Structure 1
Amino acid sequence: MPISKTIAVVDDDLAIREALDDLMVSCGYESRLFSSAEDYLAAPDRENVDCMLLDVDMPGGLSGLDLQKILSTDQKRPPIIFVTSYLDGRTKAQAMDGGAFAFLGKPVDVKALLAHVESALQL
């Protein structure tokens, strides 16, 4: 049996985390949930994450863009797919210029999300 790929879901909204978790698990992935960028950074085994679904705006701490910038210095960093309500051109440009694999709006198009996850996991 092949080893399941691990998808990290980093979003401050519990309902979004749970919905993305259900989707990833239903597609055969292992899902790890984090309510903040800080929680993700504190995870001892984050190097085992194969792809990340990341929100831009997470009040009270680091934003998704902040986390992306921090992770850009890591030797092994997962492809990042932003899933966000912040669809302005400047935010998208900043995310994509920072190396994001994709930038999707909420509510997310499930087919598009899954296609991006599959492509990201091929890297």
Structure 2
Amino acid sequence: MSQEPLVSIVDDDAGVRSSLDGLVRSLGYRVALFDSAEAFLSSEARDGSHCVVSDVQMPGGMSGIDLLRRMHDAECAVPVILISAFTTDALREQALAAGAYCTLKKPFDGEDLVTCIERALAA
């Protein structure tokens, strides 16, 4: 029996992590939670994730776009979905240019995230 895909969630807000954890687990996926991009990059989940959902703006460290660039530089082809309360057209273009699979503006409908994750896992 194969394991379900692993979705890593990277967000400095514990409430957001908890909400996304519940949503993603309800889809039957395994979940790994991280409070920073640095924590994710130093974990085993970096190489074992099938999809990453990351906040764009996290205080005191790397942004979600920095995380995406680091993964790209390391030739890690895992799809990354970026979420942010501060999405502008310029930020969205920057994220997509850096290789984001998709971007969502907080607050977003859970179904929008579900669609992004399912499409990313199918790609």
Q: TM-score, normalised by structure 1?
A: 0.95
| Aligned alpha-carbon RMSD (Å) | 1.1
The CA deviation at 1:34 is 0.3
* Percent of paired sites with the same residue: 36
SS in 2 for 1:72: helix
Query: Which runs of no fewer than 5 residues in structure 1 stay unpaired?
Result: none
Q: Is the 8 A contact 2:83 2:103 kept in 1?
A: yes
Instruction: Give the AA of the match of 1:102.
Output: C
Structure 2 regions of 5+ residues with no counterpart?
none
Q: 4+ residue runs of structure 1 moved beyond 2 angstroms? A: 74-77
Partners in 2 of 1:119 and 1:92 — Cα distance? 18
Instruction: Count the aligned residue pairs.
Output: 123
Give the Cα–Cα distance (whole angstroms) in 2 for the partners of residues 99 and 120 of structure 1.
Answer: 12
* Counterpart amino acid of residue 61 in structure 1: G
Q: Which residue of 2 aligns with 1:38?
A: 38
Letter of the 2:50 counterpart: D
Asked if structure 2 preserves the Cα contact closer than 8 Å seen for 1:10 and 1:52, the reply is yes
Is the contact made by 2:11 and 2:58 (CA closer than 8 Å) also made in structure 1?
A: yes
How far the C-alpha of 1:2 sits from its partner, in A, is 4.0
The answer to whether structure 1 residue 102 and structure 2 residue 94 are counterparts is no
Q: Is the 8 A contact 2:55 2:84 kept in 1?
A: yes
Q: Could you tell me how far apart the structure 2 residues matched to 1:88 and 1:26 are?
A: 30
The equivalent residue for 1:24 is 24
Inter-partner Cα distance in structure 1 for 2:56 and 2:62: 9
Partner of 2:83: 83
Q: Secondary structure at the match of 1:31?
A: strand
Query: 1:50 and 1:95 mapped to 2: Cα distance?
Result: 19
